[in-house]
Amino acid sequence: MAACALLMGLSACSNTPAGQEGSGIGTALRQAAAEAVAARRGSSEAPVAPRTPQQRAEEALRLNPGPLIMVGLENLGTTQIMALTGQNGAMRTYMTPNEQALILRGGMLVGTRGLGNDMSVTEPQTETLIRNGQSGSGQRILRYYTGDGLETPLRFDCTTGPGPNPGIMVENCAGHGVTFQNNYQVQGGQITVSRQWGGPALGYLTIQTLRP
């Protein structure tokens, strides 16, 4: 899948009813859990080789007819498939069966749930620049939950511009002694593949649209 290769490159540099994550993802996760249990019990069967992210994406697309994204959590070294569970205007919520969720607006990360130190919401003044492929500057306000459950706002000064690869927009942000860089592939105003910073504890997330 060409988008998978691009995702690796980025790492280098009205309401919809809930429950649309589908039996396909649940089946895949249950199968993976069963394989792990069998291994711990010393099953006599030959071990099953771990599936690659591309294999998992292909299986999810085959089993689930709805919108899907693939998310890599760099700090945890994990990759997950998330299915659309709700939509309110341009805001879409994607979730795993264990209720870890991302909230996206046209591919722009605006919130997380169930991942720990979650982003309550982010307010990017640079969003229009990124979607239009323009260079410029603006603030990004990230509000996230601290360990005591309180919401803490962080303000960053950001600049946008073309990346080193064709079709990629780069957003560089700095503030509070922290710097980070977000990378976006934009098609028709929609962010289809990206690497976005989720906060001091959560770190970077790579997000790829498998089915819009």
Rounded distance, CA 30 to CA 7, Å? 26
Q: How confident is the model at residue 46 (pLDDT cuts 50, 70, 90)?
A: low
Whole domain around residue 163: which residue ranges?
A: 2-211
pLDDT band at 34 (very low <50, low <70, confident <90, very high): low
Q: Where are the alpha helices (DSSP H) in the chain?
A: 2-12, 22-40, 53-63, 127-131
Number of domains making up the chain: 1
* Predicted local distance difference test score (pLDDT) of residue 9: 53
User: What is the per-residue pLDDT across 134-159, written as a single tens digit (0 to 9) for each?
Assistant: 999 999 999 988 777 788 899 999 99
Cβ–Cβ under 8 Å, residues 173 and 195: no
Q: Tokens 């509070």, residue?
A: 176
* 177 pLDDT higher than 90: yes
Specify the 3-state DSSP secondary structure of 171.
Answer: strand
Burial label, 150 (beta-carbon count in 10 A; 0-12, 13-18, 19+): exposed
pLDDT score at 58: 84
Q: Cβ(158)–Cβ(180) under 8 Å?
A: no
For 73-114, what is each residue's pLDDT tens digit?
A: 999 999 999 999 999 999 999 999 899 999 999 999 999 999
pTM of the model: 0.75
Residue 78: CATH number of its domain: 2.40.360.10
Average pLDDT over residues 114-140: 95
Question: How far is residue 96's CA from residue 188's CA, in Å, rounded to a whole number?
Answer: 27
**Total Cβ atoms within 10 A of residue 54:** 13
Residue with token string 């997000």: 207
CA distances from 67 to 70, 82, 206, 209, 212 (A): 11, 9, 17, 8, 5
Per-residue pLDDT, averaged over 118-127, amounts to 95
In whole angstroms, give the CA distance from residue 188 to residue 87: 20
